[in-house]
Chains A and B, each alone.
Chain A
Amino acid sequence: MNDTVSFLRKIKGAFLRGLVWLSAIFICLMLAGMIFFILKRGLPHISVGFLTRKPSLLNNTVGILPNLLNTLYIIVITLVIVMPLGVGAAIYLQEYAKNQKAVHLIELATETLSGIPSIIYGLVGMLIFVQFCSLGTSLIAGALTLVIMTLPTVIRTTQESLKTVPDSYREGSLGLGSGKWHMIRTVVLPSATDGIVTGCILAVGRIVGESAALLFTAGMANEMLSFKDAVSPGGAGSTLTVSMYMYAKERGDFNTAFAIAAILLILTLVINSAAKFTAALLQKGNKK
């Protein structure tokens, strides 16, 4: 049958096929090279001291403990605020809202939010939280900025998983005489946990990787903060990404920058696998 395909067509096909293979191989090799390069440059500079000290010019030590803690604080504060908001919004959209126009408008707004670049969030966060709400350059201002940024992700993933909860669950619960909110709380939400967890993990991923939005809201300091400092106005501090940027761009300390980059890369890997795992659970739930 192959004889009917002319030589020229075969050559052309082989060429295009080669191009497709080449591009996929190129992308994978580039990523692998990048990972290898970062780990090779970064891992040798990671030590217990590096992870458990703060940087000190007096003792001539480098350490990223403050930045690790700041990242953790920002993650916790952001999630505590964004999860109820996002899940609540998703429940409203999926279970309560009857006005199709309102639903459409809200979905348009979340899409708009997810398209806004992080540098704009940084600027607006600075205007609203740092100056207008006079929180000062602080972790709490940074976290509030990130709340706006991660809200679309949480809403979308929660909504997706709410959609997969079969209507028969809802009808059964209502038929047994439960109220609407009771039905959502005891039947719908528990069946949608995996989607909510996925949204949570994706939000963490965005927070860990964010830098432009935090530069002018959470600040660039490397001081140790307690959690109480972190939630009070004026407690400024840099997360891992921001401090990495400062080490690389402002101080030219590439060893520390690569060490932080290696840590960020490992965190990304962990977060990605976790998200994939819960997404797989979600998929399984869909098939049931």
Chain B
Amino acid sequence: MHALLGICGFIAIAFVILITVFLAVSGVPAIKEIGMTDFLFGMKWASTAAEPSYGIFPFILTSVFGTSGAIILGVPLGILCAVFMTKIADKRIGAIVSGAVSLMAGIPSVVYGLVGMIVIVPAVRSVFGLPDGANLFSAILVLAVMILPSVISMSETALRAVPKEYEEGSLALGATGTETIFKVSLPAARSGILAAVVLGVGRAVGEAMAVMMVSGNVPNMPGIFRSVRFLTTAVASEMSYSSGLQRQALFSVALVLFVFIMLINIILNIVIKKEKGS
């Protein structure tokens, strides 16, 4: 029995190795053929053109900009909401908000995508007077909403872990309740909140379906009101009809995405470890 359970235990490690190996084996050939710099920093993606060109720099930049935008909008909102749940609301209202947040976490990403397609895209089009509302800005709005649950629940945990003595000390020294929250509780919880931000980055970088439905899906260099393609959507949108080098290049895009995610994971682990250590 011991051996059998041991196999179960180590299967998670086996899966990680399997994923890494398969992605590397299928992703590396195209990078070799196209050339590392041409692939990573090439400005033009035209996989189906007569003379195909495989530069994924537009995708990388789009993912970076899209994620940053979502973080800028979503993180402050999420942290404030976590403050509300932990420090301001009474128990009943806090429970309602926390129920809402966990419901948000459970809603499938295609549903966010659908609502984005029907509500946000037309709204962006008419508010900014654009010919088409499916662009980076719409994607940022949808992503900002989608990272909220992770950011909120992680910040909530961090805020709850702040020792009561800190806050009591601050109050006793004459600070008001609000000052205590913003000058004592939040700084004390900063490493946990940093972990929440990194987790949000991971979610935003990895989201595919919802982004696919609202971003317009054209391999442009990113601009706030341009139709764009993310790393994730680049993989998803061409996979079903790709072949040959184009298909291999898509695997390489996935490999690049995987490397990004791994880096984010490592950062997250360091941040969490630091928090546990302090």
Contacts and interface: CB of A to CB of B under 8 A. Distances in A.
Interface of A: 4-5, 9-10, 12-14, 16-17, 19-24, 26-28, 30-31, 34, 37-38, 41, 84-89, 91-93, 96-97, 102, 105-106, 108-113, 115-120, 122-124, 126-128, 132, 148, 151-152, 155, 181, 205, 208-212, 215-216, 241-242, 244-245, 248-249, 254, 257-258, 261, 264-265, 268-269, 271-272, 276
Contacts of A28: 96-97, 100
Main secondary structure of the interface of B (DSSP, over half): helix
Interface of B: 1-2, 4-13, 15-16, 18-19, 22-23, 26, 76-77, 80-81, 83-85, 88-89, 96-97, 99-104, 106-111, 113-115, 117-119, 145, 148, 152, 174, 176-179, 181-182, 202, 205-209, 212-213, 232, 235-236, 239-240, 251, 254, 257-258, 261-262, 264-265, 268-269
Given A20-B83, A85-B8, A215-B236, A249 B212 contact: yes
Contacts of A249: 117, 212-213
Given A111-B265, A216-B240, A241-B108, A92 B114 contact: no
Contact of A245 (B89, B110, B205): B110
Nearest to A34: B115
B146 to A, nearest CB: 12
B100 A258 contact: no
Given A20-B80, A87-B8, 11 more contacts: A19-B80, A24-B97, A27-B104, A37-B115, A84-B8, A92-B9, A115-B261, A123-B235, A128-B22, A248-B113, A272-B106
Contacts of B181: 16, 20
Nearest to B199: A115
A120 B257 contact: yes
Given A5-B176, A211-B108, A216-B239, A117 B208 contact: yes
Given A109-B12, A113-B12, A210 B108 contact: yes
Most A CB atoms within 10 A — which of B102, B103, B107? B107
Contacts of B257: 117, 119-120
A248 B128 CA distance: 24
Contacts of B15: 109, 113, 148, 151
Nearest to B9: A92
Contacts of A241: 108, 110
B235 A211 contact: no
A268 B268 contact: no
A112 B265 contact: yes
Nearest to B254: A123
Contacts of B80: 19-20, 22-24
A85 B6 CA distance: 10
Nearest to A115: B265
A241 B107 CA distance: 11
Nearest to B262: A112
A30 B81 CA distance: 13
B107 A265 contact: yes
30 contacts: A10-B176, A16-B181, A20-B83, A27-B77, A27-B101, A31-B103, A109-B13, A109-B15, A115-B264, A116-B19, A117-B208, A117-B261, A119-B208, A119-B232, A119-B236, A120-B19, A123-B23, A127-B26, A151-B11, A209-B107, A211-B109, A245-B110, A245-B113, A248-B113, A248-B117, A268-B103, A272-B99, A272-B102, A272-B106, A276-B102
